[in-house]
Amino acid sequence: MSVEESTAREPAAPPQRADEPWWPALRPLVRRLHFYAGIFIGPFLVVTALTGLLYIFTPQLERAIYDHELRVPPGPVTQSLTAQIAVAREALPGAELTAVRPAPTPTDTTRVIFDDPDVVGSYYRTVFVDPHTTEVRGVLETYGSSQSLPVRTWLAQLHRNLHLGEAGRVYSELAASWLWVVALGGLLMWVRRKRSSARSVVAPQVRGKGRRRVLSWHGSFGLWACAGMFFLSATGLTWSLFAGENVTAMRSALSWETPAVSTELPRQPAGDVGFDQVHAAAIAHGITGAVEITAPGGGAYKVEQTERRWPTQLDAVAVDPAGGNVVEELRFADFSLIAKLARWGVDAHMGLLFGLPNQLVLAALTIGLASTVFWAYRMWWLRRPTRGFGAPPERGAWRRVPGRVLAPIILAAAFIGYALPLLGASLLLFLAVDAVLGARRETGV
């Protein structure tokens, strides 16, 4: 939710006594913050919502665009991984083999992943091989541990940073940092608003016109979308530039990190049994379905499940290259609750956890978020501001908030501003702008 209800300045209310309800005193302060955040952060929220909407259905888009690379006719015989890797090496001479993803079904290709000096960062060159004929079906640049193909990578970077690099990530972090604040403020004002019927809380006015009708759509849609907004904000911040570092540090300090199977060995392995025997050893230990086999690189092979839909399958084992024995294993069931929630939260944010139902819910949520911001600006336009951006809610409301309520709010704001640096910095900017405007209004400048 964004820009709030009225243009006109409210008449000054008498100071609140300590025994009086806190909300009447706090409401103007919440309205003012909601107003400023809605005006300035609204565009970031819309861009984030629309780019996220484009990203949601990239799995289907990938399958349609890269059908030749991803799909093959089923065959009577499946060739060894050794043979498939050999033809992939011929397609990319000089590149370093990183990992292999064996075809999980008879109609899928095998992905042979290489570290290519021509690509940097988390980008790889992946050769797609027909597991039945060892025909090379294509070579594509892929990104990250999810092996995103070019169209998905492009849309992901658009959502993440608008293709502006690290500096562009500020926009998405601002949106994620303020989304929950704007939603919470709007929720408080909407549910505590005086009205004649409970239906008007949860359902918009179908009839009528003008600002009141727009407000009903803005408020009721925001109410239904609030839980989703909180979820998107929390999970989006885990990827952010500044707050993400604090989230990582907090998880590390509390031992909430996602565990990983160790590939260290007590001694340098003498010999290498190869990918086929390693894959067979992993299958014998229950590591089945879609897996990625990471090359040893001086240690053990790592074989990890990659199925991120529900139920999540992320079991992993380390296999000694010398004898093909499993030397360590890690089960997703043994992850801590926080590590599981983090994994599920990220996957749900990406639309992967529950497949198509997950995607449809996210699509509805992003459209609802963009619509809520649109209605907010529509209300602002209906005020017909002639100077600046219209009259904000009254100043000085914080003076009427009881100390027992205001003190915890200030402490919480300081803590949150430290944990979410862009939120804290932009809040200070709002306060500075508000102080300057207030001083100019009082002096008549």
Dump pLDDT digits (tens) for 138-150.
999 999 999 999 9
User: What average pLDDT does the structure give for the chain?
Assistant: 88
Cis check: omega of the bond before 311, within 30 degrees of 0: yes
For the segment 343-348, the average pLDDT, to the nearest whole number, is: 95
Q: Could you give the CA distance from residue 373 to residue 202 in angstroms, rounded to a whole number?
A: 18
pLDDT of 63 above 80: yes
| 384 band by pLDDT with thresholds 50, 70 and 90 | low
Helix (H) or strand (E) holding 317, with range, is strand 316-319
pLDDT at 385 over 70: no
269 contacts: CB under 8 Å, gap ≥ 6:
296, 299, 300, 320, 321, 322
pLDDT of residue 71: 97
Contact 329, 315 (CB under 8 A): yes
Element (H, E) at 330: strand 326-330
pLDDT digits (tens, 9 = 90+) for 348-383: 999 999 999 999 999 999 999 999 999 998 888 887
Which is higher by pLDDT, 248 or 152? 152
Q: Which pairs count as long-range contacts for 426-434, CB under 8 Å and 24+ apart, including other chains?
A: 426/40, 426/41, 426/174, 426/177, 426/178, 430/33, 430/36, 430/37, 430/40, 433/36, 434/32, 434/36, 434/392, 434/395
